[in-house]
């Protein structure tokens, strides 16, 4: 059953309620408007002081340091530290980062990976700020939180202990983006103390809004090297971690630190002697401390590679970055984390022309839905979310399911709350069940074609809000494909060339011919898709619904649809228009309950009686 208080999402991921904030239209954290606050400070000649995250022990946290040290904390602005401070000097790089006293290597490892992927970095680090023009001691950064981007405003007062940075410090003394971004993340999490120990997987998602998968290196998948190669070529964010106590880092003789998070910055196949060797490049957020074994900076292995490869890959500096073999990587590290907007790291081998679609569902877990997840009888009372696996062809990873709980840090006993989900087949038999104490429970599967249900569950009588995302692999359609659906096209669009028709429609409404925003999408849908009689009956696309559609189809997370993204939307629209017209047997322009049931089943979903009851109430 789809619970009545959930956010309804159709098969292709169309959200029908209020839209999720894009990076450019992010939700204002604590209702603080950066532009308005900066303008106010400039008009009054003041430097901003953030009352919601003050220069006070409360922002540090009571248990991060002994009380005697907490009392010695001083707060200083970059303008007090440097005569000519900059936010960014010569671009953003992982080598700008050097971890401070706080044990937030998990966040800095994710941040190091972010610097390699500019398409994500621009969402997090806005360009409309700095120390030169319109400086008022105020900055802002964006993070993704359970389905929406939030804009976090801070002042630029940074904590110091005994004259040294308490937080991350920049390698270049007058470059401050790492320290300020870390402060914004500390504010989002509640305090600097809440950064002292965490999950690399959480930070990767918070910085991208993507989906992350963890791979155990002690029991690795047989295709680990292929996954690494696919992740590197598809511009994924990657990190890894070692086992050990997260708050007590011990550096081993070989240079590897126990209980520590690292960034994976590259993976290549290199010519070595008379064969090929897979090697992996890794970076330590400390900014120093490197692997001393094979393929390290001074190892003899580099003497047996081609000179051009040695020149391209070897960087003999004490900057925390090093190479190691795939075998040593699996021996020394415990977990690999890979993150991207969609699970492109699972596209490898003979797979060609594939895309990933995503369904998103936001709901509130209520104790009334509680179950002992081992009880099959109780499972049926939980909210269920159906999806259909297409007959894709090759037997490969084709489904990724991610369940995330919202604001877990603020929940009572959150660390002891085990959440997860069950997957059932068409006969309601439980096929798989995944549970974890982490905030984000994500796994990947090979599922045969058919209809399945995902059932979120927990072990406690505790209410929490969650985001469920179901990623499915599909065969991509291109201009030469013979398998395109046969859509019902508007009267003024020639049917014989469907691809060129949607391109013509796109170019007619696209901003500067390159992208469509929510307002343009609303105009397009109402003018091109809907017929006059539907408009007269009040059947218009609202602006909020168009923002929702855009947010869910917008894989680039930039608040606009590209031609490729619009093509996916167009094919989905025309598919459902065909179904609607076929099932609207009396040509009334509406579907009654029986027609609606047939339409939903034709679309590949299996509605239950209670779900149909709620749908009938909306008519």
Residue 290 is predicted with a pLDDT of 93
Q: Is the pTM of this model over 0.75?
A: no
Pairing, β 97-98 against β 138-145: unpaired
260 is catalytic: yes
Judgement on whether residues 276 and 391 belong to the same structural domain of the protein: no
Residue 494 is predicted with a pLDDT of 32
Judgement on whether residues 251 and 130 belong to the same structural domain of the protein: no
Judgement on whether residues 145 and 271 belong to the same structural domain of the protein: no
105 is catalytic: yes
CATH number for position 387: 2.60.120.380
Q: Is residue 17 part of a domain?
A: no
Judgement on whether residues 381 and 452 belong to the same structural domain of the protein: yes
How far, in Å, CA of 155 to CA of 51, rounded? 9
Token code pair at residue 77: 């602005």
Q: Select from 475, 508, 538 the last residue of a domain.
A: 475
Residue 539 is predicted with a pLDDT of 64
What distance separates the 2 farthest-apart alpha carbons in the chain?
A: 80
Judgement on whether residues 129 and 218 belong to the same structural domain of the protein: no
Q: Is residue 297 part of a domain?
A: yes
Catalytic residue among 41, 105, 146, 339: 105
Q: Is residue 382 part of a domain?
A: yes
Judgement on whether residues 196 and 217 belong to the same structural domain of the protein: no
Domain holding 563, by residue range, is: 498-617
Judgement on whether residues 526 and 394 belong to the same structural domain of the protein: no
Q: What are the helix and strand counts (H, E) for the chain?
A: 19, 24
Judgement on whether residues 253 and 311 belong to the same structural domain of the protein: yes
Residue 475 is predicted with a pLDDT of 64
Q: Is residue 332 part of a domain?
A: yes
Token code pair at residue 455: 């059932």
Token code pair at residue 593: 């309950």
Pairing, β 399-405 against β 148-155: unpaired
Residues of the chain with pLDDT under 70: 1-21, 245-248, 349-353, 365-381, 392-394, 407-415, 460-461, 475-501, 511-513, 531-539, 554-558, 587-588, 605-619
CATH number for position 556: 1.10.238.10
Residue 379 is predicted with a pLDDT of 52
Catalytic residue among 140, 169, 196, 260: 260
If you count them, how many residues does the chain have? 619
Q: Is residue 346 part of a domain?
A: no
Residue 605 is predicted with a pLDDT of 67
Judgement on whether residues 53 and 200 belong to the same structural domain of the protein: yes
Q: Select from 281, 305, 340 the last residue of a domain.
A: 340
Helices (H), 209-361: 224-233, 307-313, 326-332
Number of domains in the chain: 4
Q: Is residue 55 part of a domain?
A: yes
Q: How many CB atoms lie within 10 A of CB 370?
A: 18
Q: Is residue 397 part of a domain?
A: yes
Q: Is residue 132 part of a domain?
A: yes
How do residues 509-568 score in pLDDT, each as one tens digit? Answer: 876 567 888 888 888 888 887 754 454 455 678 777 787 788 777 666 667 788 888 888
Question: DSSP secondary structure string, 501-517?
Answer: HHHHHHHHHSBTTTBB-
Residue 478 is predicted with a pLDDT of 40
Judgement on whether residues 419 and 504 belong to the same structural domain of the protein: no
Asked if residue 284 lies in contact with residue 257, where contact means CB atoms within 8 angstroms, the answer is yes
CATH number for position 282: 3.90.70.10
Residue 470 is predicted with a pLDDT of 94
Judgement on whether residues 40 and 171 belong to the same structural domain of the protein: yes
Catalytic residue among 123, 140, 169, 284: 284
Residue 407 is predicted with a pLDDT of 66
How far, in Å, CA of 31 to CA of 17, rounded? 22
Nearest to 405 by CA among 433, 368, 363, 445: 363
Which residues touch 17 (CB under 8 Å, ≥6 apart)? 7, 8, 544, 548
Q: Select from 315, 340, 365 the last residue of a domain.
A: 340
Judgement on whether residues 544 and 601 belong to the same structural domain of the protein: yes
């Amino acid at each position: 059953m789809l619970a009545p208080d959930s956010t309804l999402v159709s098969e292709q991921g169309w959200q029908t309620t209020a839209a999720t904030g894009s990076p450019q239209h992010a939700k204002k954290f604590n209702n603080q408007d950066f532009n308005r606050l900066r303008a106010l400070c400039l008009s009054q000649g003041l430097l901003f002081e953030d009352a919601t995250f003050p220069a006070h022990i409360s922002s540090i946290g009571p248990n991060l340091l002994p009380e005697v040290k907490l009392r010695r904390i001083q707060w200083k602005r970059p303008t007090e530290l440097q005569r000519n401070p900059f936010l960014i000097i010569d671009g953003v790089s992982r080598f700008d980062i050097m971890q401070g006293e706080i044990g937030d290597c998990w966040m800095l490892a994710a941040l190091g990976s972010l610097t390699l992927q500019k398409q994500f970095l621009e969402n997090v680090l806005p360009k409309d700020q700095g120390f030169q023009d319109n400086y008022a001691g105020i900055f802002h950064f964006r993070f993704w939180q359970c389905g929406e981007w939030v804009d976090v405003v801070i002042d630029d007062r940074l904590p110091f202990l005994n004259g040294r940075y308490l937080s991350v410090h920049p390698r270049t003394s007058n470059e401050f983006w790492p320290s300020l971004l870390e402060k914004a993340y500390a504010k989002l999490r509640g305090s600097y103390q809440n950064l002292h120990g965490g999950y690399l997987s959480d930070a990767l998602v918070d910085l991208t809004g993507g989906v992350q998968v963890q791979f155990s290196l002690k029991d690795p998948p047989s295709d680990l090297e292929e996954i690494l190669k696919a992740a590197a070529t598809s511009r994924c964010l990657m990190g890894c971690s070692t086992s050990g106590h997260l708050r007590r880092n011990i550096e081993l003789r070989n240079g590897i630190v126990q209980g520590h998070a690292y960034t994976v910055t590259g993976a290549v196949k290199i010519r070595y002697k008379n064969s090929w060797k897979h090697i992996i490049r890794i970076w330590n957020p400390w900014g120093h401390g490197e692997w001393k074994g094979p393929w390290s900076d001074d190892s003899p292995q580099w003497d047996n590679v081609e000179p051009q490869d040695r020149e391209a890959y070897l960087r003999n500096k004490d900057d925390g970055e090093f190479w190691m073999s795939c075998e040593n990587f699996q021996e020394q590290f415990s977990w690999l984390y890979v993150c991207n907007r969609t699970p492109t790291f699972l596209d490898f081998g003979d797979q060609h022309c594939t895309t990933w679609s995503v369904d998103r569902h936001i709901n509130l877990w209520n104790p009334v839905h509680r179950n002992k997840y081992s009880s099959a009888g109780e499972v049926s009372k939980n909210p269920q979310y159906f999806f259909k696996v297409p007959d894709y062809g090759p037997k490969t990873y084709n489904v990724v399911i991610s369940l995330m709980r919202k604001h877990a840090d603020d929940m009572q006993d959150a660390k002891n709350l085990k959440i997860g989900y069950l997957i059932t087949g068409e006969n309601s038999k439980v096929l798989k069940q995944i549970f974890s104490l982490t905030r984000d429970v994500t796994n990947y599967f090979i599922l045969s074609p058919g209809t399945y249900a995902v059932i979120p569950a927990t072990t406690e009588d505790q209410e929490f809000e969650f985001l469920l995302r179901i990623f499915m692999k599909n065969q991509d359609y291109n201009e030469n494909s013979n398998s395109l659906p046969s859509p019902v096209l508007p009267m003024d669009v020639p049917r014989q060339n469907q691809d060129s028709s949607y391109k013509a429609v796109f170019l007619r409404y696209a901003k500067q011919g390159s992208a469509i925003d929510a307002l343009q999408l609303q105009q397009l849908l109402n003018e091109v898709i809907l017929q006059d009689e539907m408009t007269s009956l009040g059947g218009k696309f609202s602006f909020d619904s168009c923002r929702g559609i855009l947010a869910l189809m917008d894989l680039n997370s930039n608040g606009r649809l590209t031609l490729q993204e619009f093509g996916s939307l167009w094919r989905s629209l025309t598919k459902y228009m065909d179904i609607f017209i076929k099932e609207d047997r009396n040509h009334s322009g509406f579907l009654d309950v029986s027609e609606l049931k047939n339409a939903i089943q034709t679309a590949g979903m299996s509605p239950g009686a209670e779900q149909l009851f709620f749908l009938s109430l909306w008519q």
